[in-house]
Structures are given as C-alpha cells and as structure tokens.
Structure 1
C-alpha cells in the first residue's frame, strides 16, 4: 500500500529550499526568525533536527523516547550549505516514510505517545512550512506554500481546528502565527496524532479527518479491507465525522476507530462514539463489521476494549449502545461485552455499561 506523506515531505522541503535560496547571501545568524526567539540560522538547524529526528524514530522503531543523538553544522557552513542539510534530512524522512510498514508506530510524546508514518510525515511537513515562514518573515521575504501541503497538515494532526478561509491562513492561526476573523488569537497549541488502542487480536486506530473524508467518498481510507471495501455503515459514520470537522466539533478520541486485524493488517470494520460524553457522563457507541469478518468475535472484543477505555476517562459513567430489535447478532455482541438492556422503544433496544 502506498505510503502517504513521503511526496508531501519532499514537496515541502523543495519549496523551502527554493524560497530561502533567494536569501542565502544575507546574515541568518544576526536576524531573529519571525516571532521566535531563535535566529534564522538556529531555526534552520532546529528544522533539520526535526526532520532527521522523525526519520530516526521511524527507522529505529522507537518505543520510548527519542534516539539520543543531535546534529550540528560544520564550522564554516554557509547558508547554502544549511539548505543542503535541510534537503538531505528531508530526503531521509521521506525515505523512512516510504519504507516503514503501515502498521508501525514510533514514540512521539503527545498526546498519545505514538505516531504512524503518516503522522510523522505530517509533523515533518508542519515543521518545514512553519519554520520556513519564520525564517522568511525574519528576512522580510514573501512566502506562501502550496495550499495542499497546509491542508495535508491540518487534516492529519490538527483535527480540532475548524477549517478557515484558506488552509495556510488557518495553519498560521492555529500555531499562533496569524489571525482569523472571528477567532481569538492562539497563544498555546499542540498538534494531535490519532489515538490507538489494542485488544487481543485487533488494533483500534483512531480516524483522522483526512481518513474520514476518503472513506466517506468511497475510498479505502488507507486500509486493506476484508472483502475489498468498508461497510456502508462505516462510510456513513465517516461522513458524520467530516461534518463534525467542518463545524469544529471533531474530537479524535471520541470519534471513529478502524478495527485492524494484527495478524494480516487488514481492516475488519469500524467502531466509535457518536460524540463526546454528555453532561451526565453518558456516551453512545456504535459499530459496523464487513460481512466477511463477522462471526469471529471481533465486534465483542473491540467493544470491550473501547467501552472499557471510555469508562476510564474522567467524568464518564455510562456507555450506551442502541440496537435494532430484529438485530439479534448485535444484541448478542453487546450482551457478551457486558452491557445490560435497560429499555425498549420503537423497535430499538437500549443497552448500558456502567463504570
């Protein structure tokens, strides 16, 4: 399966080198980079450190902490040489993204202590775009990257940021570098990689806005599905998530999770919450398996894992599942997962699992 993100890293780095190549004859050491406290040269070094650091995390399959190394420019390196370092470290990250298997995750400190290859690619592109902007601002140099690159970043690691007038202006606002009409200035920010949970046989992978959009438009979402395609209920749920993202109401941990079988890395279905917990600590859960994966206990296993995780979160008291009265297999799933029937109304049965 094609590694999404490598081409975006390469494009972002090429755009950076082209833009800053116009000012290699200026003083980067004595000029502050935009709103940062670093000089333009220090910012360029930080950018290269990020790119090689992310490549190292993926290549080394790091599970705890960053690999303990750092880089430095050789004495006498001019600004053109600095850009060569950025180009080289960017190429290494792109290569790592291309050669890392889809299911591999490596350590990143926040918020869920891991990221996959697409997440590291998005973080790398973000570093390139934003710090190129910082250096360009310090150099009084106009700079605006391709809109597709800013959108790539926003839809993968800024899921809670409501889309704005343009992707680039929205990304600058979301990182404290600009203003948007009707929105308060951002003073603190962090990006968000997708959450991941594990059960005995499955990995439950939180869906990003980019994945949701692809699934809602009949794409595969970056997964190989048992039976060749996602179920219709999964596509409908993905469409709801896209609407939540557009409204600024997307919360990745309270969204959809694709259920991936670890022994062959194939998706068997999806499960997720209808939204964040309400004021009474109640949250509703739903699920959908492809036909070829039914009858193996995957839904029960995933439901136990996801509902158990939900009840461990602050303020959550009850997980609710609503099942059609004629859907006997689904009733068995929720019962085996520990849910209890509490009401019946209009052909629907309501089940609850309480903490």
Structure 2
C-alpha cells in the first residue's frame, strides 16, 4: 500500500486556499465561522497553527507534550498573507510526513498519546477540511473537498465511525457535529482516534486502521514492510473480518487486528488480535499467526503476553480465550507460555454456548487466561 499521506495534506491545503482566495477581499474578522465561536480570520489562523504544531511534533519526535512554541502573524497581515501562511505550514507538514520513517511516533493526546506519520497527516487533513467548511459556511461559499480526502480521514483516525459508502464527506461532517445523516442521532461530542500501539520486548503490536485492513484483505501489505513470505493468510483473513465489522459499524479499534513489528529492523513478522469486542461477561477471543520465517523465536508468546496483559488491565475484560487445533502443538505452546491454561469444562461450555465449536468433536482445544492465571 503506497503511502499517500503527504500528498493528501498537500491536496487538502490546496483545496482550502483555492476556495478562500475567492473571498480574500472580504473582512473575515466580521463573520463567524459556521457553528464555531471563532470568526473566520481566527479559524483560518487556527488551521496554520495546527499544521505547524503537527509538523513540529513529528519532526521533533516529541514525547509527552507538544513542542512549546507558537506562531504569530506580523501586524497588518491581510487575508492573502494569512493564506500564504497556511500554504507554508501545509508544505512543512507535507515535507515532514514524507521524510519521517514509518515507525516514528510522536506525542498527541487522543486517545493513546501518540501518532505516526499517517496519523499526523490525517489529523492535519481533518483540521484543514473541517475548518475550511466552517469558514465557507460563514462566508456563504460552497465547499466540498476531493472525495479521497474525507475517506482517508475516516479510515485512518475515525475507525469507530460507520461511514456512508457513497458519502464520505457527509459522514465526516456528521461525525464531527457539523451535519446530519438519516437515521443517526446528532453528534454533540467527538474525538478522533489514532491507532493503538502496544510495546513488547522485541516487538511492537501496531493497531491496524480500516484503510490498512482493506489493503491487507485485498492482497496488499497494509503499509507494512514484511519479512519474506508475509503476511500469512490468517492475517489477511483477520483483516477481512475487521473490515467487515468496520463497515457494519460494530468495530472497536482497540479490539481489532495488530501487526507484529520487530523493533530491530521495522519488519512485520505476523498478526495478532481479537475476534471482536468483549461480550457482556467480559470474555474476548484472541487469534495469532506468524510468517513462517519468524517462527521458533518466541515472538508469538512475547506478543500474546503483552496483548493479554494490556487487555486484562481493562475493566471490560475478565477472560481471554484462544482456540487451538488439537494437533497444533507449537500454537498450544505459545498460549501456555503466555499464561493461558487448558479450559475447564465449565469454561468450554460458556465459550461454546449451545454450539459444538465448528462442528468438531475434540479437534479444537480452548485455552483461557484471566485474572487467576498470571503470565509465566
């Protein structure tokens, strides 16, 4: 999957500036920007502030907070000058996104306190599109961005929002409290969600966005660089399941698919994740696979331990389950080394319900880990 993040920032800024230049001769300080409390001039300057702040955090590899600086306009700067500032700060974010390695993450508070280059690009595009909409609404201008831009934003930092297949822009406006969609309640509070990354010793578990899931399920690399032979078919199938949940509006990003990436070289070696969100009893099922060339090195056990400890620290998870084929001794070993034990009869019954799992009799084994099973 080719990284188009920098191009998307560039295109968003170009669409913003092209529209606002048609009204550069008007007094932007005298007009409120749509539903915001700010006037159009303040809102336009805010676009530039966000673009340079995102570029600074990503370029400076900020940790724990924003880089502590502000920009100001020279006294007497007119609307045309302000548009030049937006163009310049947009160019700086574009260049930063294009030149930052994929594995770099920098501070952003929502919701997991970091974002990668794709996340910063999506946040920048969102700020540009949404605030251009606000200004256009205040000035009485018609605005609709290029169709790929709201799609990029939705599938990167709004994984919890079900999009309308033929109306990405309308979905984004609704999701940010700026519009309406038939059959959906108005949105009054919202935040985007960058992907979750869980650290392990030699690996990071990197949450897969809907955009990456779509690419993986279609045979692509999901934006990751894989070791030879990857990704494994199970990862592609899991990506397809996650994409289906997203399109149905039931996907919870933190209970989706993660790609296992080696810290030493940034190469992806496998996939791991949940089959869905926890049920009402706090049970969630996990699954995992590794590319053949990465097996036998303890990666899966290491990653499963990290994922399990993260999940069981939450209030909504009480028991984790892993279903393993009876003949798959290595996979059973992975579960055991990650603190899972063979399920009791009661736990088997609770997990299976009234169904005989996959119609098999003894061909599958259930392993569980809960608060009562510490990691080995």
TM-score range, shorter chain: over 0.9
Instruction: Give the unaligned 5+ runs of structure 2.
Output: 349-360, 372-376
User: Is the 8 Å Cα contact of residues 200 and 303 (structure 2) preserved in structure 1?
Assistant: yes
**Contact conserved, 1:29 with 1:40, CA < 8 A, in 2?**
yes
Q: How many matched pairs?
A: 355
Counterpart in 1 of 2:23? 23
- CA–CA separation in structure 2 for the residues paired with 1:293 and 1:318: 28
2:109 alignment counterpart: 109
Q: CA deviation at 1:52?
A: 0.1
Q: Distance in 2 between matches of 1:202 and 1:3?
A: 22
**SS in structure 2 at match of 1:304:** helix
Note if contact 2:324-2:366 (Cα within 8 Å) is conserved in structure 1: yes
CA deviations on 1:97-150 (whole Å, 9 max, x unpaired) are: 011111000000110000000000000000000000000000000000011100
Structure 1 residue runs of 5 or longer lacking an equivalent are none
Q: Secondary structure of the equivalent of 1:13?
A: helix
Q: Is the 8 A contact 1:54 1:120 kept in 2?
A: yes
Distance (whole Å) between structure 2 residues aligned to residue 43 and residue 68 of structure 1? 21
- Residue 64 of structure 1 and its aligned partner are, at CA, apart by 1.1
CA drift at 1:281: 1.1
Alignment map for 1:243-282 (pairs within 5 Å) = 243-282=244-283
Match of 1:155 in 2: 155
Is 2:45 the partner of 1:45?
yes
Q: Match for residue 243 of structure 2?
A: 242
Once the two structures are TM-superposed, the CA of residue 3 in structure 1 deviates from its matched residue by: 4.3
Kindly report the root-mean-square deviation, in angstroms, between the aligned alpha carbons of the 2 structures: 1.1
Instruction: Tell whether the 8 Å contact from 2:31 to 2:39 is kept in structure 1 after alignment.
Output: yes
- Give, in whole Å, the separation in 2 of the partners of 1:325 and 1:215: 28
Q: 1:278 to 1:87 in 2, by over 3 A?
A: same
Counterpart Cα distance in 1 of 2:215 and 2:4: 13
Query: Which residue matches 1:74?
Result: 74
Separation in 2, partners of 1:4, 1:204: 23
The residue aligned with 2:365 is 349
How many Å apart are 1:338 and its aligned residue? 1.2
| 2:256–2:273 contact (8 Å) kept in structure 1 | yes
Within the alignment, does 1:192 sit opposite 2:208 as a pair? no
Calculate the TM-score normalised by the size of structure 2. Answer: 0.93
Provide the C-alpha distance between the structure 2 equivalents of 1:313 and 1:283, rounded to a whole number of angstroms.
12
TM-score, normalised via structure 1 length: 0.98
Q: CA deviation at 1:346?
A: 3.6
Task: Kindly provide the CA deviation profile for residues 140-183 of structure 1, in whole angstroms up to 9, marking residues without a partner as x.
Answer: 00000011100000000000110114000000000000000000
Distance in 2, Cα, partners of 1:64 & 1:317: 30
In the aligned structure 2, how far is the partner of 1:290 from the partner of 1:176? Answer: 43
What residue in structure 2 maps to residue 132 of structure 1? 132
Structure 1 counterpart of 2:14: 14
Superposition deviation, residue 7 in structure 1: 0.3
CA distance in 1, matches of 2:147, 2:323: 41
Deviation of residue 228 (structure 1)?
Answer: 4.5
Q: What per-residue deviation string (whole Å, max 9, x for no partner) do you get for residues 292-322 of structure 1?
A: 1000000000000001111000131111000
Deviates most, 309-318 or 89-98: 309-318
In 2, Cα distance between the equivalents of 1:115 and 1:78? 34
Provide the C-alpha distance between the structure 1 equivalents of 2:168 and 2:15, rounded to a whole number of angstroms.
16
- Secondary structure of the 1:114 match is coil
Partner deviation per Cα, 1:4-62 (whole Å, 9 max, x = no partner): 31000000000111011100011101100000000000001111000000000001000
Q: Which runs of at least 4 in structure 1 moved beyond 2 Å after TM superposition?
A: 1-4, 343-346
